[in-house]
Structure 1
Amino acid sequence: MYEDSWYSFVPEISHKKNVSISQTAVHRRRESLLQQPNGTNQTETIGPLEGLLEEAEISDDPPEPILSRRVKSYSDFYHVVRSQLSKDASKKQKRQKKDKSLEAILLEKPDNNTSGKHGSFQDDSFHDELLEASQQEFLLYREQLAMTERHLGALIDDTDDALKLLETLATSFRSVDIQTSSFQAQCDDLISEETRLQKLADEVGTDLHYYAYLDGVTRRLNAPGASRLVDHENFAEILTNTDACIGFMAKHPTHRDAESYLARYQSSLAKALHLLESGFTSHLETVSSEISKQISSTQSEAARHALAYGRFQELVLDADGLVGNVQKVIRSCYDQLGNPVDGQNFDYYSNTSINIFSSYSDVRDRDLRPITQHDLETFKREAKEANAQTASRNFIKQCYERSFNEFGLFAQIFSIEPQFSMDGKSAYAALRTQQKALVSVANVAPIANTLYPVLQLSDLRTICNIVGWITNEYLLLEYDEEESRYTQHCQQLSARLLLEHLWPLTDKAFENEITKSISKHPLSPETLKIGPVVNGVASSNAHPITKRALELLGMYDQAMPKERSQKSSPVIFRIVHETILALQRAEARLKAIKSANPDPDPDLFMIKNLLILKNELVSLEIGDIRSETAAMQHFGQIWDTLSPQNWMGLFRGILGGSLSLGLWSSAANNTAANGKTAPAKDVVRDASEKLDELLRQNIYAFTQRWGALINAARSGKKGAKSLGTVEKELDVRLLAAFGGQPEVLGKLKEAIQINAQAQKELGGTRGSR
């Protein structure tokens, strides 16, 4: 408890103390100062300390209060107290060290006589001092806690006072709110009423505006300089406001004088549109007077093109205010593609637009007449000097290019791009009614009118070549070909040119050729023969009517797209039907002269020509006209269609009388397979079935006759030819008709054998009966 340094100090007293210090002991403990002095061992006398500074005695009073740092919050209070206590403890420890050192110095050495008397007193004094020193720290901590308690108590009191004040305020506010709720409701009602009145006033003011606008717009449109209004952008505002007023009057017919104001506003709109139409027409005439003179005075194609399109567009668009007003009127009734836009004043705007389009077309047709006249003269000269096909191609290309340029100019001026439409209210329909000499997107009649005189004097193949070239050049695009705006424009023109003009012209030319070369073809005896097949070509020994029918079918298929060249086409039907009738006339002629000239066989003649015609029809149906002129490549397909599934059963039925010869048509297949008879179709409406029926009839008649001859030769009847002679004669006839076509020969011989076997079995059945 005591430090060793305390024993190195001796208080200043009257008696001396002998201290003996051993010189030999180095690490021995020092002798206690409380030990009684030993006079024998004391070697030196310790003198009194001079000038010893004494500190003031420690007072028993509590330490002076220290103002601690105010806490920021309750959680910070603990850290503040703890830091303050650590500071006080360090200060107290330093002070205790000094006090203890001073106490040790001030201790007096007790006398031997009084040691026993004062020993207990000194011990009690020291005990009290030590106790007081040890409790000093706790006393300070107690004082600080008391101060903190007082501080917290003050905070609690302040908080309670604040809560009481807030409660009082809340009570006051609630009472005020209760007292003012009715007043607030009255204020809300007043605000709602004010809003309603303000809205009503606005509506009344708006309605009055629709009525008050009439006088102002009427004065402006009837003023002496009203025609100049169309040159400014403010004119569009007049149209918009007038249109809105008309809509308001039409929407509120029950308002006072609504009908009168509606009529007057409509009259004002008509007046404004008339001023715009007149202004734009006058502007076009001014531009035309300058451009037409320059075009007529020059002979250069490039200069004419620059004047007709570049310079004309620049002069027209120079009046940007007028052009903008025209575009607004047109877009009020048509969209970007020229489709009609529904509106209350559509009739007014559409009529004005149509009149503007008409004036524009007249001006363009007049300005470009020297150019179109030059193109027409060039076409006529090339048609005479070169050929009609080349001249027609060049003329069509020039017309397409000029039409595309006109289309671009029209879009720049009127801000619409009319497309093909069947709607009678569209811009396309409006432009189509204006037939001019200039080719446009809706007017392809000038091309057809120019081509008609030349094509009517040309042969059928030239017409087909021109029509086929237009189809392949502009309608059938390659997969890797880019579809530009010019290509799309040419497609539209080509579709309309073909559909409305050239296809009807071509069909009419085919009708005339069918009548001339098939229906009215003379049947001379020289043509009623079957010659040998040349170079293996099946049609080389066909009848001239059949050959011409094949040529017509081929030309029509090349000139037309597949959708028009199928058997449902009126032209295809007419070719097949008239060819069948002509071959039937030839068959009747052969049967009439059979006794005098048994060659050729009428049935074999019909089989030969009908098979060739049928083979060509099959090729056209599958859309594949082959360049090879070999034998019938589709004969297997044709034979499967013609032949019933069971030839033997069908021959037995026919020979037994269960079926009539006239009913052996396509229904025979259904009868043999399903046992049901399908209704016969009108042969006039279906030439293909008529062709199949005739083929079946002639194949049956031919195989039945030669089957009977083979059975007679095998039976050895008197007067009958030998089997070898019959077979040789059959081979000669078949080779003459179908030389180089082993498939046809084999099928016919097989059918003859089946028919002969059926006749033999039927004869045996009758003999047994």
Structure 2
Amino acid sequence: MYEDSWYSFVPEFQHRTAPSASQTTGHRRKESLLQQPNGAIEHADNANSLPALFEDQDRDKSPPEPTLSRRAKSYSDFYDIVRAHLAGHSPKKRRKRRRNDRSWEALAVPESVAARLPGEEESHGDALEQELLRASQQEYLLYEDELAMTERHLQSLIADADSALKVLESLGQSFRAVDEQTSSFQAQCDGLLTKQRRLEALADSMSNDLSYYAYLEPITRRLNAPGAGRLVDGSEFTKILSTLDSCTDFMATNPSYRDAETYLARYQALLTKALHLLEVGFTNHLNKVSAEISRQIAATQSESARHALAYGRFEEIVLESYFLVPNLQTVVRNAYDQDGQPSSDPKAEIYANTASNLFHSYWAARERDLKPIIQHDLDTFKTEAKESIETAARNYVKQCFESSHNEASLFRKIFSIEAQYSTDPRSAYAVLKSHQRSVLTGTNVTPIASNLQAVLQSSDLQTICNFVGWITNEYLLLDYDEEETPFTSRCRELTARLLSEHLWTFTDGFFDVEISKRITKAAVPPEALKIGPVSNGDIASNAFPPIKRALELLVMFDQSMPKERCQRNSPVVFKIVKESIASLHRAEARIKSTKNGTDPDLFMVKNLLTLKNELMTLEIGDMRSNHTPAASLGAAGLQHFAQIWDTLRLPQNLLGGFLSSAFGSLSTYIPTRIPGSSLWSRSGASTPVVPGITPGGGGEMMHDASEQLDEALRQSIYGFTRRWAGVLNEARGGAGAGAGGATKLGGKNLAKVERELDEMLERAFGGQPEVVGKLKEAIQIEAQAQVQAAMGQGQGQKRSVVTRV
């Protein structure tokens, strides 16, 4: 921090030892307090020294040897040395001063003697004292010099700053004066600059607009050159397309420019030519690849080798081009987005046409390459179908789904789009679907459906239902325990399209044929019109044969179709129920005409209840059961009879007056019973209601099969209970039933009639005591209602038995 010359103020004396004098025994002289031992810095006291004694001056008149402090290496070390020095000697100074003062008092010399002392001795002591004082205060003098130098520098800086401020002030005044004098000139300059910028912008705009006109000639020369076909395999082809797009957009958005329409047409023609070059180049490239791949596939007989050549090797060779495939992907992406949806750009139609041609060329080449593989798979499928159609169909579907996934993956790598399902006719999905070929395109499932239908056409309905149910449960229904992969997602999509577009319609056609054959046009022998006993507790064992077949068809349809197709909007379910009801009505008419001993109303109740119970068991329609659906046709019986009975609101709930409190209130759902009428109708008319025909006879078909079944069941139950209530009243002895009054039954007594009724119900509903009990209860209630009605007519009281709420 400081120069060495700053510390050279104190002269360097050689260290020496003070001479020792011999001490006398009488008076011993003390050593001079001004003398310092060599190397003892902590005992030196240079600041306050006493005058020399006379005897010391006589003996040695030279000044004592000073002791130098250690030179400080830095500013901080210097302060540390000074503090240590002062802290170590300050107490001793005070004690020495007191002792020295006492010494001076003891050794005081009279003034007379002091006046006689030599003068040089006194001046010599003062000079020495001053020199020692300066030596001890050297460090403070250095601080004083440093502060003085700093002060001079600060004063110089202040003076320079004052002069600079004065100069700046004068310059500011000069600039303000110049600004005031040149304001008009500055305004003129600003105007000129604004005009210059406007002219520059106008010139740039004109230059930019003229550039769209300048692109025509060079692009025309390049596209019409002899080697223009090589452009599609280079990096400049994309630049040409983007330039043509920009020029076309400019001319289309500025039709007022000179010759804009002419240039627009020419640019569009050049764009079409460029895209045609791409089509030709890609087709030639595919032909080269196809020639090599097809030859290798035909030469091998290994299925794994064929698969590797058809997909792995084909992909490798096609993607070996320099820029042909990237240019191809650019064109396709200008027409469609990543999911195959059409682009909103006005030029997308031109690119979409080119993309369609590229797709056509690609699938034509793939069909040539895969023709041996497709034919081999089809021959294998037909061979396996001779042994088991269902097993062969399952294997063929698995194989086709795997091939379709591979084709879709290869298509995505080449064209850089994923053709998702879409109903838009401009989408890539619609374009690919329109290319009906024998090869699976990833979106075209027609080849699978055609081959399956050709083989399944010769099988029976059960086999078709088993296969459709398998493919629905295997691929369409999502299993939440497994994570959905791209392959499973594509299989679900293909399955949904295969079923909805082909197999469901195909299966419905088989059901229509079976319904017409086994229900509508079924031959019914006379013994089938009788109700036999129930066997093995199966309520359907003694059902009408067409109804049995209807139950079988319902079970097959439910097992092969998802629940959404089994609801009330299913045409197959509606036709099964409708034709079953019609078949029962035809059988009822034959029973009434032949009088074979079968109760026609009980015959209808028996078969309609069986059909209704099966519909609820399978959860078909809007009806839902709290029970587990039956696994097969041989269920224990009428599991849902209580629910059916409550829904129908049978006659015991339709009585007014004294029975209303016992059986609950009425509902608008319940049809009105008119006394004297043989049937119920929702309008209250006495005309019989034929299922499928409106009460007014308009011939309009009822669209709800469940309501048709409920209506027919109500009519049959009421007809059965009303007639047998009259029989019981006659057996009891003269109570009339019906509008025509009562007729005696001769020798038939009440016990015999009740026994006959029990036998009839037990034969029809053996093992179903609930059904028998409800029907007998309804008959008794109806009998009481008839008695009350007869009594009211006899008393001249004209009132309605049932009122509609």
Per the normalisation by structure 2, the TM-score is 0.74
- Alpha-carbon distance in structure 1 between the residues aligned to 2:156 and 2:354: 94
Contact 1:247 1:344 in 2 (8 A): no
- Alpha-carbon distance in structure 2 between the residues aligned to 1:334 and 1:750: 72
Pairwise CA distance, 1:442: 1.9
Superposed CA offset, 1:200-256 (max 9, x none) = 222222212111111000000000111111111111111111111111111111111
Change in 2 beyond 3 A, CA 1:161/1:285:
closer
1:754 to 753, 767, 781: 781
1:265 aligns with 2:267: yes
Superposed CA offset, 1:155-212 (max 9, x none) = 9999988876665554444333333444443333333333222222222222121111
Pairwise CA distance, 1:405: 1.0
SS in structure 1 opposite 2:540?
Answer: helix
Superposed CA offset, 1:5-53 (max 9, x none) = xxxxxxxxxxxxxxxxxxxxxxxxxxxxxxxxxxxxxxxxxx9998699
State the partner residue of 1:326: 328
State the partner residue of 1:602: 600
Amino acid at match of 1:640: D
Superposed CA offset, 1:403-456 (max 9, x none) = 111111111111111111111111111111110011222211111111222222
1:632 aligns with 2:638: yes
Q: How does 1:714-725 map to 2 (within 5 A)?
A: 714-715=732-733, 719=746, 721-725=748-752
State the partner residue of 2:756: 729
Contact 2:405 2:487 in 1 (8 A): yes
1:108 to 107, 111, 118: 111
State the partner residue of 2:488: 487
Q: How does 1:554-565 map to 2 (within 5 A)?
A: 554-565=555-566
- Alpha-carbon distance in structure 1 between the residues aligned to 2:427 and 2:330: 16
- Alpha-carbon distance in structure 2 between the residues aligned to 1:157 and 1:387: 116
Unaligned runs of 5+ in 2: 1-53, 62-92, 114-143, 661-665, 686-694, 736-743, 797-805
Change in 2 beyond 3 A, CA 1:706/1:330:
same
Pairwise CA distance, 1:716: 6.5
1:743 to 757, 763, 770: 770
State the partner residue of 1:23: none
Between 152-161 and 324-333, report the one with greater CA deviation: 152-161
- Alpha-carbon distance in structure 1 between the residues aligned to 2:684 and 2:557: 31
- Alpha-carbon distance in structure 2 between the residues aligned to 1:746 and 1:543: 23
Pairwise CA distance, 1:107: 5.4
State the partner residue of 1:671: none
Pairwise CA distance, 1:366: 1.2
Equivalenced residue count is: 647
Contact 1:683 1:690 in 2 (8 A): no
Q: Over the residues paired in the alignment, what is the CA RMSD in angstroms?
A: 3.9
Contact 2:680 2:715 in 1 (8 A): no
State the partner residue of 2:466: 465
Superposed CA offset, 1:557-599 (max 9, x none) = 11111111112211111111111011000000001122xx32x
State the partner residue of 2:654: 647
- Alpha-carbon distance in structure 2 between the residues aligned to 1:361 and 1:153: 96
- Alpha-carbon distance in structure 2 between the residues aligned to 1:180 and 1:441: 80
Q: How does 1:183-262 map to 2 (within 5 A)?
A: 183-262=185-264
- Alpha-carbon distance in structure 2 between the residues aligned to 1:285 and 1:328: 21
Q: How does 1:407-446 map to 2 (within 5 A)?
A: 407-446=408-447
- Alpha-carbon distance in structure 2 between the residues aligned to 1:515 and 1:722: 47
Contact 1:471 1:494 in 2 (8 A): yes
Amino acid at match of 1:690: Q
Amino acid at match of 1:221: L
Change in 2 beyond 3 A, CA 1:160/1:461:
closer
Amino acid at match of 1:601: D
- Alpha-carbon distance in structure 1 between the residues aligned to 2:639 and 2:281: 71
State the partner residue of 1:584: 585
Amino acid at match of 2:258: R
Contact 1:518 1:548 in 2 (8 A): yes
Structure number with the higher helix fraction is 1
- Alpha-carbon distance in structure 1 between the residues aligned to 2:157 and 2:224: 90
SS in structure 1 opposite 2:569?
Answer: coil
Contact 2:674 2:680 in 1 (8 A): no
Between 155-164 and 409-418, report the one with greater CA deviation: 155-164
Contact 1:236 1:328 in 2 (8 A): yes
Contact 2:672 2:683 in 1 (8 A): no
1:291 aligns with 2:297: no
Change in 2 beyond 3 A, CA 1:680/1:626:
farther
Change in 2 beyond 3 A, CA 1:108/1:524:
same
1:354 aligns with 2:356: yes
Contact 1:712 1:720 in 2 (8 A): no
Contact 1:665 1:693 in 2 (8 A): no
- Alpha-carbon distance in structure 1 between the residues aligned to 2:400 and 2:551: 35
Per the normalisation by structure 1, the TM-score is 0.77
1:768 aligns with 2:795: yes
Unaligned runs of 5+ in 1: 1-46, 55-89, 111-143, 669-677
- Alpha-carbon distance in structure 2 between the residues aligned to 1:161 and 1:402: 94
Change in 2 beyond 3 A, CA 1:358/1:216:
same
Change in 2 beyond 3 A, CA 1:655/1:685:
closer
Change in 2 beyond 3 A, CA 1:433/1:156:
closer
Change in 2 beyond 3 A, CA 1:174/1:660:
farther
Contact 1:577 1:687 in 2 (8 A): yes
Pairwise CA distance, 1:727: 1.3
Change in 2 beyond 3 A, CA 1:242/1:734:
same
Aligned residues with identical type, % of pairs: 56
Contact 1:716 1:722 in 2 (8 A): no
Change in 2 beyond 3 A, CA 1:448/1:619:
same
1:687 aligns with 2:691: no
Amino acid at match of 1:648: L
Amino acid at match of 2:301: Q
SS in structure 1 opposite 2:213?
Answer: helix
State the partner residue of 1:474: 475
Pairwise CA distance, 1:715: 2.8
Pairwise CA distance, 1:376: 1.0
Pairwise CA distance, 1:315: 1.0
1:452 aligns with 2:453: yes
Between 289-298 and 171-180, report the one with greater CA deviation: 171-180
2:718 to 700, 705, 730: 700
Amino acid at match of 1:591: K
- Alpha-carbon distance in structure 1 between the residues aligned to 2:335 and 2:272: 15
Change in 2 beyond 3 A, CA 1:523/1:228:
same
- Alpha-carbon distance in structure 2 between the residues aligned to 1:187 and 1:530: 117
- Alpha-carbon distance in structure 2 between the residues aligned to 1:667 and 1:169: 116
State the partner residue of 2:29: none
State the partner residue of 2:13: none
- Alpha-carbon distance in structure 1 between the residues aligned to 2:281 and 2:530: 79
Amino acid at match of 2:755: K
Contact 1:464 1:555 in 2 (8 A): yes
- Alpha-carbon distance in structure 2 between the residues aligned to 1:575 and 1:508: 13
SS in structure 2 opposite 1:368?
Answer: helix
Between 523-532 and 445-454, report the one with greater CA deviation: 445-454
Amino acid at match of 2:365: V
Superposed CA offset, 1:637-692 (max 9, x none) = 11011115823229999998469554444999xxxxxxxxx999955322221211
- Alpha-carbon distance in structure 1 between the residues aligned to 2:451 and 2:756: 61
- Alpha-carbon distance in structure 1 between the residues aligned to 2:611 and 2:682: 18
